[in-house]
Amino acid sequence: MESRIPVETELIERIGWLIRLRWLAVLGTGAAIFLMWLWYPDELPFLPLIGVTAIIALYNTQFFFYARALRLGYSGTLRLRHAIQFAYVQIVLDLLALTALIYFSGGVENPIAVFYVFHTIIASILLSRRVSFLMGTLGVLLFAAVAVLEYTGILPHHHLPIMGAFEPYQELPYVLTTVGVLAITVWLVAYMTSSISVRLRARDRELVESSRDILAKSQELEAANRRLRRVDAERTRFMTLVTHELRAPISTIHTCAEVALAENTSPEAVRDILRRIKRRTGELVELIGDLLRLTRAREEASREEEIGLTQPAEVLESVVELMQTEAHSKDLFLSMDIDPSLVPVRANPERLKLVWTNLLSNAIKYTEPGGIVSVALKQANDHLVATVRDTGIGIPPEDQERIFEEFYRASNARMSCPVGTGVGLAIVQRIIENYGGEIWVESELGLGSKFTFVLPTALT
């Protein structure tokens, strides 16, 4: 069905081709009329013949401007409809003009009657197989009408001088044979050319579709590439940060050890140096712990997992219990609110634990002592809605979109807590989306953040 008409741009291009072809036809007809006038100046009605040729030239000029407007103007289905109507008008006018030329130059005697074939071919190229048959038949009917009207004497006959004394327009067998042969030729041509056009058109359409596909794919690739480049830049920044973070305490420790080893260092000073060494190594242990957690989390997230029915409340309670110590040691108040009507979710409990641990440890990490961290679990229709709120440093609006990207850390987080990897939230998002859920953040700088995630609950 789709391949019966050509694609819009192609149709418009071919209309241009038809108009160029018509200029050639005008020139050819003009030349033929001129030659006939030279050889047989009194034997044909030259005025009507020139008149018809002039009319063709006139309407072709109009067509030229309309085709240009069509090409430049607008696009879409309206343009396609106009282009199709335009093609119809052109072919019908050409058929009428050809019939007039044939009539004024011998009628059935004129061999240019075969030119009706051209319109059949043009219709099959420009439009559909049906229209090709229709236009071919219209040509045959017009030709037959001329033959009948001349045969019955209703229209005067203009003899074609090149036929000499042979004047067969009144020979019924000749008239019938000529019209019959023309009809068969036109229909056969309509059948053959439209079979080829339909096939070519189907291929055209495939090509257009596949080039559209390729364009979409290349845009996807481009976006993926940009994402990768961004992750890579963040990764490099992260590596530099880690190296720097490792180097600074190690060189301090090294210098401290040198001072402690110096002969004139008092035992009191040595104790002080050892205290500094202890603090620095503590920081190092913390950083290395973070890196280890990161590696484990990434391994965990990429491992094959067993998905079963999990009670979200149980998982959350176990995580909050573990986190209480951390919250207390930072003088934070950690509260929990669980909806009693919770339905289990289809998830792996370990992964869910990872999600809660990451969100809660962030809330604790980015909240100043004295602040509040609260977690809540609610049932909303067929979804579990989980929130983690804090009264911490918040996230600048421009960073909120990007904090779920690997290695990305907001500027204020980097200042308030230099040790961090920027990977936790990327892992959390991957896990949640893997279960068909979604996670987002709402935050106000300096006032706090609220992370919300939803997960579809298991059907009971």
Of 29, 421, 429, 457, the residue at the interface with ligand ADP (CB under 6 A) is 421
Residues 195-224 within binding reach of ligand ADP (CB under 6 A): none
* Interaction pattern, residues 325-364, with ligand ADP; x per rule: CB under 6 A: ---------------------------------x---xx-
Question: Which has the closest alpha carbon to 315: 409, 406, 435?
Answer: 435
Q: How far is the CB of 389 from ligand ADP (least distance, A)?
A: 9
* Rounded distance between C-alpha atoms, residue 107 and residue 33, angstroms: 15
Q: Which is nearer to ligand ADP, 208 or 376 (by Cβ)?
A: 376
Phi-psi region of 45 (alpha: psi -120 to 50; beta: other; left: phi over 0): beta
Residues 381-400 within binding reach of ligand ADP (CB under 6 A): 390, 392-395
- Residue 166 sits at φ, ψ, to 5 deg, of -70, 115
Q: How far is the CB of 351 from ligand ADP (least distance, A)?
A: 16
Q: How far is the CB of 372 from ligand ADP (least distance, A)?
A: 12
Kindly state the tokens that stand for 331. Answer: 């003088």
Of 403, 431, 439, 455, the residue at the interface with ligand ADP (CB under 6 A) is 403
Question: By CB under 6 A, is residue 413 in contact with ligand ADP?
Answer: yes
Of 94, 182, 409, 439, the residue at the interface with ligand ADP (CB under 6 A) is 409
Residues 272-301 within binding reach of ligand ADP (CB under 6 A): none
Q: Which is nearer to ligand ADP, 95 or 363 (by Cβ)?
A: 363
Contact between 104 and 49 under an 8 Å Cβ cutoff? The reply is yes
Q: Which residue is nearest to ligand ADP (CB)?
A: 424
Region of 54-62, 150-158, 244-252, 418-426 interacting with ligand ADP (CB under 6 A) = 418-426
Write out the DSSP string of 209-258.
HHHHHHHHHHHHHHHHHHHHHHHHHHHHHHHHHHHHHHHHHHHHHHHHHH
Q: Which is nearer to ligand ADP, 73 or 289 (by Cβ)?
A: 289
Question: By CB under 6 A, is residue 424 in contact with ligand ADP?
Answer: yes
At a CB cut-off of 8 Å and minimum separation 6, what does 237 contact?
407
Q: Which is nearer to ligand ADP, 14 or 430 (by Cβ)?
A: 430
The residue type of 253 is I
HSE toward the beta carbon, residue 404, CA cutoff 13 A: 17
Rg (CA), the chain: 43
Question: By CB under 6 A, is residue 132 in contact with ligand ADP?
Answer: no
Tell me the β-bridge partners of 450.
Answer: 389, 442
Of 384, 420, 431, 453, the residue at the interface with ligand ADP (CB under 6 A) is 420
Distances (CA, A) of 53 to 40, 94, 119: 19, 11, 17
Helix, strand, coil percent content, the chain, rounded in steps of 5: 70, 10, 20
* Rounded distance between C-alpha atoms, residue 204 and residue 6, angstroms: 8
- Interface with ligand ADP: number of residues (CB under 6 A): 21
Question: What does the longest C-alpha to C-alpha distance in the chain come to?
Answer: 140
Distance of CA 135 to the CA centre of its chain: 39
Q: How far is the CB of 427 from ligand ADP (least distance, A)?
A: 8
Of 366, 371, 437, 439, the residue at the interface with ligand ADP (CB under 6 A) is 366
* Rounded distance between C-alpha atoms, residue 440 and residue 400, angstroms: 9
* Rounded distance between C-alpha atoms, residue 342 and residue 383, angstroms: 9
Write out the DSSP string of 146-172.
HHHHHHTTSS-----GGGTT--GGG-H
Region of 22-30, 37-45, 58-66, 422-430 interacting with ligand ADP (CB under 6 A) = 422-430
Q: Which is nearer to ligand ADP, 144 or 395 (by Cβ)?
A: 395
Q: How far is the CB of 312 from ligand ADP (least distance, A)?
A: 20
Task: Give the CA angle between residues 117, 164, 54 to the nearest 5°.
Answer: 50
Q: How far is the CB of 242 from ligand ADP (least distance, A)?
A: 12
Q: How far is the CB of 253 from ligand ADP (least distance, A)?
A: 24
* Total length of the chain: 460
Distances (CA, A) of 190 to 130, 140, 196: 9, 12, 10
Q: How far is the CB of 223 from ligand ADP (least distance, A)?
A: 22
Region of 14-22, 218-226, 248-256, 402-410 interacting with ligand ADP (CB under 6 A) = 402-410
Q: Which is nearer to ligand ADP, 6 or 392 (by Cβ)?
A: 392
Residues 82-121 within binding reach of ligand ADP (CB under 6 A): none
Q: Which residues bind ligand ADP (CB under 6 A)?
A: 358, 362-363, 366, 390, 392-395, 403, 409-410, 413, 420-426, 449
